[in-house]
Structure 1
Amino acid sequence: MSTENNHKDSSNHTSSSSSSSSSSSTIKRKVKDGVNTSNHGGSETIEAKPSLLGLNNKVLLNTPPHSPSLERFSALSKPRESLLTSPEMANIQWGTFNYIALAYVMAGFSIMAQMYKEKGVIVDMELFWTLTKNWHCGLILSVGLFLFSQVNYIQTRLMVKGYIPNRISIVLYCLWQLVAFPVSMSYLFSYELSPILSGGYGLQLCVYSLKNHSYWHTNYFLKKGGVKATSNNSPVTRKDLIPNVSFSHFLYFMVAPTLVFETSFPKTKSIRPSYILKEVLAGFGTFFVFYLMLNLTTPFYRECGTESFLIILVQLSLPSMSLWMLGFYGVFHCLLNIFAEITKYADREFYQDWWNATTFDMWWRRWNKPVYRFMSRHVYTDSMHTIKLNKFWAMVSTFLLSALLHEIVMIISFRFVRPILSTTMLLQIGLVYFTQLPIFQKTRFGNVIMWITIN
């Protein structure tokens, strides 16, 4: 888990008796990650390089917390750009990156030429109006979930301030989750929505659920650990391990492109309009080609009842792989970076170089960093800490929750229960161990198997 290891490197500073070569290598590594370090009176100040994101914030990290149980809530976010903002960071030369982009552009022109030849129009908008029917439901759902989140905020604040007992807070939080899911799903089922639109709204529901869990869970245990440390005459002094229930910080967390709550987030100095314009244009182009690809695949789905399943599968293999790549770039790079720039959120590591993964667990750790960080902190690590699960069962519990959330999105999208996706996700536990064989690890063959598996 590279994110956690990076944090531990930054929080556990070396003593004055450490060798100068070790200190030098540590500083070089942090400068490479985009931060400058300096020591001040036994604490380490980490300041982002202004050339990266124009940062104005400093994070002060003292010695490890007085209560070891709080260490799992240490700040993870740090200033960094997304890999594909500068492809060289991901060992991708601009020539390769531009070639891939041009290939998709030419594919789009090819589809438009075929559409004009068959239907007399460059872009057929019939599918677009079908997909976006009742689009306003998402806006209403988003506003409703945002307002309902204030209930969780209020009860969390009352708990941290000591106005309600911890047990009452647990009950209120569980009630919040129990109300949010059925009410939101019932609302979506009352409208006729396309699978893509309803699936997107299902993801939105999951995002609000995870954010509210992280907000309550983090503040709950930070308060609990702080009380315990104070009773032992060793109060917690690290800012990132003291509960933060200010309303402005809660609102910021609700709109920031992260699922893991922290008591403070690294921010940029200002918003760059040129950067937003660039990502908006890139995102529009990406989703436009995505829509053209959907138009291309629609006839294949209509032939599912007459054509052989194997033939349909082969015909859809290349378009589905293209849709996967376009969806990834459009959401994880363009959309999340736009939100990050608007909110001045400085940690842009929404993904790592998952395309170079040679094992399945490596792919899971790299391709969706916001969800990975949430699962790592609030499911994997917490299940080992609170109910003392070993690593294997902690991993199983993580896959179970992930499978459940994916199944909820599938139910909302297609309005029937067929646990195919969740079953295949649980089977991936075996695939994790299988791809850790020496024949796969750090080999080209392992990377080929990874690509075949995810597509």
Structure 2
Amino acid sequence: MIENSDITKTIIKNRKKSKSLKDEVAEAQLQREQQKLKLNVSSGGVVTQTTTTTTSTTTITTECPPSPSLERFSAISKPRESILTQPEMGWGTFNYIAICYSMAGLTMMVDTYLSTGTPIETDMLWWLIRDWQHGLYLLLALFVWSYVNYACTWLYARHKIPAFMSITLYILWQAITFSVAGYYILMVCDLSPILSGGSGLQLCVYSLKNHSYWHTNYFLTQGTIKASKKNSPILRRDLTPNVLVSHFTYFLCVPTLVFETQFPRTKSIRASYLLKEVLACFGTFLMFYLVTCRVSPIYKKVNDTPLLLVLIQLSLPSMSLWMLGFYGVFHCLLNIFAELTRFADREFYQDWWNATTFDQWWRKWNRPVHKWMLRHVYTDSMYTVKMKKTGAMVSTFLLSALLHEMVMIFSFKFVRPILSATMILQIGLVWFTQLPMLQKTRFGNVVMWITVFVGQPLVQLLYSTHYNSLLLDEQQHQQQLLLQQNITTI
């Protein structure tokens, strides 16, 4: 009994010693964490940390959260690859489609060689790329002209000019951009529909980029001014203005329309990946040209063929052109520019082919424009103009339709609101495809694809027939002028 009591006392003493050692270790660890927090606070960092031990709980907050109105300018870019480059999307299906397109292109080249003696028709090619240098001149002019907007934004961010002058200069910049560039495309240049449409698209791209740059830095500057008056400076880097000329130049080159004060970047340029995308881009646009040559005779017989038969004949070629254009631009070209600039966010599209409603389709198929519309139209109209969600959605849709129609005006050089009208009609399709029997169902996806198969050839037919009639009238007018000149000389 005595031995057992001594052993019990010894065990109790050891337990007390171990408890005191644990308490000392916990207190020392808490002191080290508090010293680290003090160092972070003294260096200007933002610290919000909660420490829990067996003895006490410490919560230290050194900065109030920023204004909720500035949260809409938070960074949204993050490192990610495009969907079609990821193996989980099914490389087998993608390779099968690529091989089918390659065999179809080879078949068309053999048929052209047997009929004309050359595998590729060159007359249409030279017509499509004629006066290409004018498009290059416009691109360089828009790039240089953007630095005028940068200078005006820099002046306001550095508190050199007042807010009303910054707004005035920005509106003036946009007005000069569209008036001069639009006049150059429509009246000065004699470009083909593809090159003139591409020039108009570049005009819209630079306009949206410069708006995002000015708009973001303008409101972030206002937020920093308000925070400084309240003696609570904003220390988050993504919510403070960035008007460095190097960052602005990088923003003009990267494939995104939404300006952010910092962008994720890759470590290096992958030469093998870049070569693969360049070859894929070349093959895609070669196939696009072959399909265009094959479908051109159909438009010449439009007046002698029933409309329903023409739509059936154009349904598959027009969808092929649309798919090739999507892959060549949104995957190949944008990934090439992203790789060259080491831009890490490659989400240029999502799985729009699986969409069951039209609102999903619009959100997924063109992510750069969707992100721009979401920040600078939809969200900003609710914060600045105090619109409700329905009004913000309608205004966003109308602006998107206007931009699409503007590109078509630059392409064909006539005003005929066909595309914008079809986009407005899709508001009813958005409501229809959101019915429970269609939403998130395979049947809803079938309805979406059927409407695309019908809508694409119809839009192409309406634009191309009117364009061909204008070309025919112009040719007849030139022949009459030549005839009159010959008569006068005789």
For residue 299 of structure 1, what is the aligned residue in structure 2? 297
The answer to whether the 8 A contact 2:157-2:217 is kept is: yes
Number of the residue aligned with 1:162: 159
Give the corresponding residue for 1:405: 403
User: 2:16 is matched with which residue?
Assistant: none
Is residue 108–residue 289 contact of structure 1 (8 Å, CA) maintained in 2? yes
Q: Tell me, yes or no, if the aligned pair for 1:87 and 1:97 is still in contact at 8 Å.
A: no
Q: State the partner residue of 1:112.
A: 109
Change (3 A) 1:65 1:127: farther
Query: How does 1:316-355 map onto structure 2 within 5 Å?
Result: 316-355=314-353
CA contact (8 A) 2:357 2:448 kept: yes
Alpha-carbon distance between aligned partners in 2 of 1:147 and 1:318, rounded to the nearest angstrom: 41
Corresponding residue for residue 446 of structure 1 = 444
CA distance in 1, matches of 2:368, 2:63: 27
Q: For the structure 1 residues 63 and 363, does the alpha-carbon distance in structure 2 shift closer, same or farther, using more than 3 Å as the test?
A: farther
Residue identity in the other structure for 1:154: A
Q: Match for 2:117: what amino acid? A: G
Question: Which residue of structure 2 lines up, in the alignment, with residue 71 of structure 1?
Answer: 71
Q: Distance in 2 between matches of 1:237 and 1:441?
A: 44
* Secondary structure of 1:79 counterpart: coil
Deviation at 1:306, TM superposition (A): 1.9
CA contact (8 A) 1:293 1:319 kept: yes
* Structure 1 position 344, deviation (Å): 0.5
Q: Match of 1:424, as an amino acid? A: T
CA distance in 1, matches of 2:64, 2:387: 24
Task: State the shift of 1:408 in Å.
Answer: 1.1
Aligned to 1:128: 125
Count residues with an aligned counterpart. Answer: 396
Equivalents in 1 of 2:262, 2:170: separation in Å? Answer: 22
AA of the residue aligned to 2:429: L
Deviations 1:29-86 (A, max 9, x none): xxxxxxxxxxx9648xxxxxxxxxxxxxxxxxx9884211100000000000001112
1:127–1:63 distance in 2 versus 1, CA, 3 Å: farther
Question: 3-state DSSP class of the match of 1:80?
Answer: coil
CA–CA distance in structure 1, aligned partners of residues 352 and 222 of structure 2: 37
**Structure 1 counterpart of 2:93, one-letter code:** T
What is the Cα deviation at residue 172 of structure 1?
0.6
Does residue 1:151 correspond to 2:155, yes or no?
Answer: no
Structure 1 counterpart SS, 2:439: coil
CA-CA distance at 1:233 after TM superposition = 2.2
Does residue 388 of the first structure (1) align with residue 386 of the second (2)?
Answer: yes
For 2:307 and 2:64, locate their aligned partners in 1 and report how far apart those are by CA, in whole Å.
Answer: 58
1:335 and 1:382 map into 2 onto residues whose CA distance is: 30
Aligned mates of 2:294, 2:87 — CA distance in 1:
30
Give the AA of the match of 1:80.
R
1:171 aligns with 2:168: yes
Contact 2:64 2:232 in 1 (8 A): no
1-structure distance, mates of 2:146, 2:302? 43
Opposite residue 138 of structure 1, the aligned amino acid is: G
Tell me the distance in 1 between the aligned counterparts of 2:91 and 2:261. 38
Change (3 A) 1:134 1:63: farther
Residue aligning to 2:268: 270
Partner secondary structure for residue 102 of structure 2: helix
Output the CA distance in 1 between the equivalents of 2:349 and 2:246.
Answer: 27
Q: Is the 8 A contact 1:404 1:422 kept in 2?
A: yes
CA contact (8 A) 1:350 1:368 kept: yes
Alpha-carbon separation, structure 1, partners of 2:342 and 2:441: 39
Give the corresponding residue for 2:311: 313
Query: 2:468 maps to which residue?
Result: none
Secondary structure of the structure 2 residue equivalent to 1:305: helix
Residue type matched to 1:370 in 2?
Answer: P
Q: Secondary structure at the match of 2:302?
A: coil
Moved more, 216-225 or 416-425: 416-425
Segment drifting more, 156-165 vs 417-426: 417-426
AA in 2 matched with 1:305: N
Q: Sort the Cα spacing of 1:217 and 1:65 in 2 relative to 1 into closer, same or farther, 3 A.
A: farther
Counterpart check, 1:249 vs 2:247: yes
Query: Which residue pairs with 1:206 in the alignment?
Result: 204
Stretch deviating more after TM superposition (242-251 or 402-411): 402-411
Distance 1:103 1:272 in 2: 28
CA contact (8 A) 2:356 2:445 kept: yes
- Separation in structure 2 between the aligned mates of residue 84 and residue 63 of structure 1, nearest angstrom: 42
Q: Counterpart in 1 of 2:373?
A: 375
Q: CA RMSD in A?
A: 1.6
Question: Shift of the alpha carbon at 1:324?
Answer: 1.1
In structure 2, C-alpha distance between the alignment counterparts of 1:352 and 1:430, rounded to whole Å: 23
- In 1, distance between residues paired with 2:439 and 2:64? 34
Distance 1:167 1:349 in 2: 36
Residues 64, 71 of structure 1: 8 Å contact kept = no
Q: Which runs of 5+ in 1 are unaligned?
A: 1-39, 44-61
Q: Which residue of 2 aligns with 1:3?
A: none
Q: Residue 228 in 1 paired to residue 226 in 2? A: yes
C-alpha distance in 2 between matches for 1:75 and 1:211:
16
Q: 1:82 matched to which residue of 2?
A: 82
| C-alpha distance after superposition, 1:418-451 (max 9, x if no partner) | 1111122122222222211111111111101111
**C-alpha displacement of 1:177:** 0.7
**Deviation of the 1:185 alpha carbon:** 1.3
Give me the whole-angstrom Cα distance separating, in 2, the residues matched to 1:285 and 1:65.
51
* Alignment check: 8 A CA contact 2:63 2:232 kept: no
1:180 aligned partner: 177
Name the aligned partner's letter for residue 184 of structure 1. A
- For residues 99-133 of structure 1, give each alpha carbon's deviation from its aligned partner in whole angstroms, at most 9, with x where no partner exists: 11101001101111221222121111111101001
Q: For the pair shown, which has the larger CA radius of gyration, 1 or 2?
A: 2
Asked if structure 1 preserves the Cα contact closer than 8 Å seen for 2:47 and 2:63, the reply is no
Check whether the contact 1:297–1:316 (CA below 8 A) recurs between aligned residues: yes
Letter in 2 for 1:369: R
The answer to whether the Cα contact below 8 Å between 2:112 and 2:119 also exists between their aligned partners in 1 is yes
Give me the TM-score of the superposition, normalised by structure 1: 0.85
Q: Structure 1: how far apart are the matches of 2:261 and 2:48?
A: 22
> Within 1, Cα distance between the matches of 2:217 and 2:417?
34
Distance of aligned partners of 1:63 and 1:299 in 2 relative to their CA distance in 1, 3 Å threshold: farther
Residues 65 and 238 in structure 1, CA contact (< 8 A), matched pair in contact too: no
**Is contact 1:132-1:197 (8 Å) kept?**
yes
Structure 1 residue 147 displacement after superposition: 1.0
1:383-419 per-position Cα deviation (integer Å, ceiling 9, x unaligned): 0110111111101100111111111111111111111
Partner of 1:287: 285
Aligned 1:413-432 pairs, distance under 5 A: 413-432=411-430
